[in-house]
Structure formats: C-alpha cells, structure tokens
Chain A
Amino acid sequence: MAAPCDHGAVAVIDGTTLKLTPFRTANVPPPMALFEMAAPSSILDVAFSPANTYMGLLHTEGFSLYEWKLNGKRSIKPVLVGSLEFAKAGNVRVTPLQIFVSETGNVYCLCHSQSTLLQRYVLDSTVGDFTTEDGIYAGSLSGFAGITQASTRAVLAFDSLGKLHNVAHQEDEIFSVRLPSQLPWTQVVDLAGHIIAFGLSRNGHLYANSRLLLKNCTSFLITTAHVVVTTSNHLVKFIHLTDTDSKDIIATNRSVRIKNTDYPM
C-alpha cells in the first residue's frame, strides 16, 4: 500500500463473517477484529481497490461493495455502497471465483459458468446499483494481481503461463512483462512507467519479472520504497525498489502492449 492510503487494512474471512482490522487505527490481535461484516452467504474472496477507497466482498450468491470511511486519520466502519446477486442479474448458474475492485468502484469478477468468464459490473453511485456488462472469455486467466499504484486505472491478471494482462476495459491487453510461470502470490508495481511483477512460488522462490531475486522467501510485501521479504533463515530483508540498475531489469521493462480483442460471450 502506498502512503497516505496505507491504512494497514487486513481482512480475514470466517464463513459468512468478514473480520476487518485497519492496523494503522487499532492493533487488534486475532481472533478479534475491529470491524465485523456479515455477508448473505459464505464469503469466497475480498479485494481492496488500489488506493483503498473501496472494498469488495464476493460470496457464493453475489457480491457487496463497501466504501472505506475515514474520520480524520482513523478508519471507521466501511459503509455498504451497493450489492448484486448473480441470480437476479441473470447469471443463474455461475460459480464465482475471484473479485477485483477498481478505484472508480467498478467490480470485476472472475467466474465460471460453462467456461471461465471475466465479468465487469459498472457502479452507478447515485443509486448504488450495478450494470452488468458482457463477460469476456478468460479461459487462460488464473487470478487477479494486486497493484501497488494508488492512482492506477489498470485491472491486472495473470494467466497460467505467468503472462500479465490488463482487462480494465472489454479488451485483453497482454504486457511483455511476465513471470516465469503461474505463481500463487503476485503483486505488480509501476515504477515511473516500468512495470515490475513480483511473484512468490510455493517453494519460496521470489521473482521480479523473470529474474529470480531470492530462493528462500516465505512472504513478501511491497511498499513505496521497498520490497519487504521474510526468509526461511529468520530474517526480514528490505530490498530497495529501484527504477533501473541491473541490465535484466531494463531489458524486461519496456512494456510493449499487444492488443487482443476478445469476442463477448
């Protein structure tokens, strides 16, 4: 998260309850939480928008969008902006998988219904309603990527080969930046035009684009100045985020976009 919107918000899913704690406001230890939100059915995924303005909650029957509220510097309980039920929106037999929320409040949902689809829901903030747009085929996409840029308009997702896609509009733009393969934990940073995708594999290898940064990583976080990493030999390391430096970073950072227009289903 980037300052000043680094509220340190952590959301924990507990069945139909979401336990939310903004650590900058209050350091509440688990199993307690500062705020608890109930969903109509079992929660599958939670997503924060890049500048933490909105929070999206995906459950088996639909999704809810909350607006993050501040009282000065303290975070207060998020307010429900709108919600949608898949059955009422016309998608009866859909299995929701993941959710992403953009800074404008638009919700992107990766779901499966006959095939894998990326569905975009546009928010009408005056009414609190969503307009369902045509889904695009997303058979190769494995999941959304977190973005560390608060001002971004991109909606990024990785596919099963590790390639990065921007699916903000009804098109699928592929970046030249990629990770070596599909990785479970990913985060993308935009450093003055240079896109760097960080990914952690299950066996502890941390990659920055195609470059292997370190081999014994157990978790990582990106801040504005550093990549914070914990290693399996009990150390926390701070890798300074730099624009250029090594030759391989320069070589992989020219993001040439290849536009693919997918046929709407």
Chain B
Amino acid sequence: MEVPPDDPETDERCRSIERGARLVTAMPTNMSLVLQMPRGNLETIYPRAMVLAGVRHLIEQQDYAAAFACCRTQRVDMNILFDHKPEQFLENTGLFIEQLADITYIDLFLSSLRYESAYTSRLPDTKC
C-alpha cells in the first residue's frame, strides 16, 4: 500500500481541497466524494481516481453505455473503453454499438481513438 506523494499537479491519486475539509462519505457507485468544509457546508467532488475506478468497473461489467456516458461528462479519454479490456471490446463490438445507440456518440468515440494505448499516453499508470 503505497501512499501517493504530495503532487496534485501530476499524480491523479492526489487532489487539492480547501484547508480544513474533512471526509463525510464516499459513493463508489456515483464515483463521488462528499466533504465537509470548515464552515460546515458540504461539497461533492468527483475525483479522477474514483471516476477511473468506476469506469473500469463498468467496462468489466460490459456496461459500455454507462461507461461512455461517464467518460463524456467527466471528460475521460474514451480510449479507455478499448484499452482497459481490448479483447473484450473486440468480442463485443456489436453490444457496444447497440448500447451506445446514438450515431453521434459513436462518431464521438471514433474521433477520439488514438493508435497508442491510453495507459501509456494520457492516463498515467497509477493503477487506481
């Protein structure tokens, strides 16, 4: 169990928050984290580490529709939909297209594809 260094600029396992904020609850299903600020108000954040863990989990469950929707709202590189489980994607391409349904979504996915794996280029190998 490695504690990530204090490097919010580059490391996704680390994120800056307001001074004095404390954790209230975490909801992996919603990929969100609720914090309580020193003044007493609550804030909900969607940390990169939890979003990526959530997207990976959805891909493993073959729920490409939800994974795609999450990548779109959270601005995650869509290459993860293929790169996380390449063989599974190739076997279930029909399912992927059925779940996405909308032609604009498929266009969006196709236009974001890159040759190199997302894990080597955009998403760091932090195994979140």
Contact = CB atoms under 8 A, between A and B. Distances in A.
Q: Do A and B bind each other?
A: yes
B25 A246 contact: no
A8 B22 CA distance: 15
Interface of A: 1-4, 6-10, 23-24, 27, 29-30, 208, 213-214, 218-221, 223-228, 230-231, 233-242, 245-246, 249
B50 A233 contact: no
A29 to B, nearest CB: 5
Interface residues of B, number: 40
Interface string B22-59: 11111111100111000011101101011001000100
A129 to B, nearest CB: 32
B127 to A, nearest CB: 6
A17 to B, nearest CB: 18
A155 to B, nearest CB: 22
B24 A237 contact: no
Interface string B2-15: 11101010000111
A221 B13 contact: no
Nearest to A241: B1
Interface centre among B29, B45, B127 (most CB of A within 10 A): B29
B128 interface: yes
Given A30-B42, A225-B53, A230-B17, A239 B2 contact: yes
Contacts of A30: 40-42
Given A4-B29, A6-B27, A29-B42, A237 B4 contact: yes
A235 B23 CA distance: 11
Contacts of B20: 218
B16 interface: yes
B74 to A, nearest CB: 15
Given A234-B17, A236-B14, A223 B128 contact: no
Closest 6 CB pairs of A and B: A238-B49, A219-B22, A8-B27, A219-B23, A238-B13, A8-B25
A240 B127 contact: yes
B21 interface: yes
Given A226-B50, A230-B23, A240-B2, A235 B16 contact: yes
